[in-house]
């Protein structure tokens, strides 16, 4: 069977994109970045939205917390909208086009890149503006969504401390352990977040397909759980209805390798939506240039398969080994 990639109109925009301009005057001197200090001891916790401009569930969540007037009882709380220029360019007729303006905001997070002033882009300017706040954050939650419909997942990064934080937060059910992307470092791996010796920690949540209502539910639930785990708020402080039932179990999937298209001749063996698990090594999951692509080990999991942006050199799926 040759599954087809869903056309854009198969994923209608189900949610209203909030007008974030009322939040432009941040409390930090940085536009769209709001920090609140309780005056009591505790961590500095950051909830970040719009790392990509078309991933609206995070924007709805952060706007909801600001409108709710949430303030920390302990420590500090930062609520931020990141790539606001890309968000402002969103066009429902071309909904994937506003992922970024010049380059991926989530691939610039090393000191070497940020300090290199010979490099310039809309995203680098925004990252450099936000960096002084991010450098003081102890716990970061970065809210994302996906091109395709898939179960939500946590991207913990490669370190044991990220897995431990994922388990402590408790949802979503699938924890993806990976090294990131070769084209650049993510915010969740920046500086101390990616240092095993540092107490600083971060998670990235893929909440669902970009514009589906359920992604907003996941973003709200994950944010509520993250804030409660961090201890900066009490449950009574949160907006009503944000917490959802906790999954009975979580499982850990460690990414081992990408499957990369070498031409436009790639097709999957089934209508995969992600997190499918194959018991046996050698199971055919697709064909690349007419040759079968097979699972390299038992209990192999497909992580975020997508043909939407198929072209030579693009990763069409990542393969992960089920650990728990």
The 3 state secondary structure assigned to 21-56 is: HHHCCCCCCCCCEEEEECCCCCCEEEEEECCCCCCH
Residue 152 inside a domain? The answer is yes
Separation between Cα atoms, residue 139 and residue 45, nearest integer Å = 5
Q: Are residues 189 and 155 in the same domain?
A: yes
Boundary of a domain, candidates 190, 206, 237: 237
Please tell me the predicted confidence (pLDDT) of residue 2.
41
| Phi and psi angles of residue 146, each rounded to the nearest 5 degrees, phi first | -120, 155
Residue whose C-alpha is closest to residue 265's, from 286, 237, 236:
286
Boundary of a domain, candidates 183, 208, 237: 237
Residue 130 inside a domain? The answer is yes
Q: Are residues 158 and 280 in the same domain?
A: no
Q: Are residues 59 and 137 in the same domain?
A: yes
Residue 122 inside a domain? The answer is yes
Please tell me the predicted confidence (pLDDT) of residue 3.
40
Residue 129 inside a domain? The answer is yes
Q: Consecutive sets of 10 residues in the chain, 324 residues long: mean pLDDT of each?
A: 47 92 94 98 98 97 98 98 96 84 97 98 98 98 94 97 98 96 93 98 97 97 98 98 96 96 96 95 97 98 91 94 88
Please tell me the predicted confidence (pLDDT) of residue 183.
85
Q: Are residues 177 and 303 in the same domain?
A: no
Residue 3 inside a domain? The answer is no
Separation between Cα atoms, residue 35 and residue 39, nearest integer Å = 12
Residue 223 inside a domain? The answer is yes
Structural domain span for residue 303? 255-322
Question: What residues contact residue 286 under an 8 Å CB cut-off, 6+ apart?
Answer: 259, 266, 267, 268, 269, 292, 293, 316, 317
Residue 197 inside a domain? The answer is yes
How many structural domains does the chain have? 2
How far apart, in Å, are the Cα atoms of 134 and each of 43, 169, 188? Answer: 13, 21, 10
Pairing of strands 174-177, 266-268: unpaired
pLDDT, tens only, 280-311:
999 999 999 999 999 999 999 999 999 888 99
Q: Are residues 203 and 113 in the same domain?
A: yes
* Helix or strand holding residue 254 (H, E): strand 251-260
Q: What share of the chain is helix, strand, coil (3-state, %, to 5)?
A: 25, 25, 50
Question: What residues contact residue 223 under an 8 Å CB cut-off, 6+ apart?
Answer: 47, 61, 65, 141, 143, 242
CATH of the domain at 227: 3.40.630.10
Q: Are residues 270 and 126 in the same domain?
A: no
Residue 16 inside a domain? The answer is no
Q: Are residues 74 and 156 in the same domain?
A: yes
Write the Ramachandran bin of 278: left for phi over 0, alpha for psi from -120 to 50, otherwise beta.
beta
Q: Are residues 169 and 203 in the same domain?
A: yes
Answer yes or no: are the C-beta atoms of 196 and 161 closer than 8 Å. yes
C-alpha radius of gyration, the chain, whole number: 19
Residue whose C-alpha is closest to residue 166's, from 158, 185, 275, 240:
158
Please tell me the predicted confidence (pLDDT) of residue 94.
81
Dig out the tokens for 216 from the structure: 């907003």
Angle, helix 213-230 to helix 56-68, in steps of 10 degrees: 50
Q: Are residues 222 and 142 in the same domain?
A: yes
Separation between Cα atoms, residue 255 and residue 163, nearest integer Å = 13
CATH of the domain at 261: 2.40.50.630
Please tell me the predicted confidence (pLDDT) of residue 324.
65
Q: Are residues 121 and 184 in the same domain?
A: yes
Q: Are residues 52 and 149 in the same domain?
A: yes
Dig out the tokens for 1 from the structure: 């069977």
Strand order in the sheet with 174-177: 33-37, 76-81, 44-49, 139-146, 201-209, 153-155, 174-177, 251-260, 315-322, 300-303, 277-278
Question: What residues contact residue 113 under an 8 Å CB cut-off, 6+ apart?
Answer: 119, 124, 184, 185
| Phi and psi angles of residue 156, each rounded to the nearest 5 degrees, phi first | -90, -10
Boundary of a domain, candidates 209, 237, 265: 237
Q: Are residues 42 and 97 in the same domain?
A: yes
């Amino acid at each position: 069977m040759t599954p087809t990639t869903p056309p854009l109109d198969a994923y209608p925009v189900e949610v209203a994109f909030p007008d974030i301009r009322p939040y432009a005057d941040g409390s930090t001197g940085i536009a769209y970045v709001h920090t609140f200090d309780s005056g009591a001891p505790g961590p500095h916790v950051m909830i970040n939205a719009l790392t990509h401009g078309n991933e609206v569930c995070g924007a709805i969540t952060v706007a909801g917390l600001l409108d709710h007037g949430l303030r920390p009882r302990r420590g500090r709380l930062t609520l931020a909208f990141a790539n606001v220029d890309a968000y402002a360019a969103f066009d429902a007729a071309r909904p994937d086009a506003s992922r970024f303006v010049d380059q991926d905001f989530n691939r610039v997070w090393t000191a070497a890149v940020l300090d290199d002033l010979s490099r310039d882009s809309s995203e680098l300017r925004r990252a450099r503006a936000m960096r002084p706040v991010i450098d003081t954050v102890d716990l970061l939650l970065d809210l994302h969504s996906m091109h395709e419909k898939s179960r939500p997942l946590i991207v913990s990064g490669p370190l044991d401390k990220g897995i431990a934080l994922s388990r402590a937060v408790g949802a979503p059910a699938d924890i993806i352990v990976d090294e990131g992307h070769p084209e650049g470092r993510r915010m969740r791996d920046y500086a101390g977040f990616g240092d095993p010796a540092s107490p600083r920690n971060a998670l990235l949540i893929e909440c669902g397909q970009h514009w589906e209502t359920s992604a907003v539910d996941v973003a709200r639930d994950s944010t509520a759980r993250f804030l409660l785990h961090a201890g900066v708020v009490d449950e009574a402080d949160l907006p009503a209805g944000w917490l959802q039932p906790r999954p009975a179990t979580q499982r850990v999937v460690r990414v081992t390798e990408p499957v990369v298209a070498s031409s436009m001749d790639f097709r999957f063996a089934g209508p995969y939506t992600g997190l499918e698990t194959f018991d046996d090594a050698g199971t055919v999951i697709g064909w690349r240039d007419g040759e079968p692509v097979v699972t390299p080990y038992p209990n192999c999991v497909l992580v975020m398969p997508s043909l939407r942006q198929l072209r030579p050199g693009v990763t069409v799926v990542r393969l992960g080994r089920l650990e728990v």
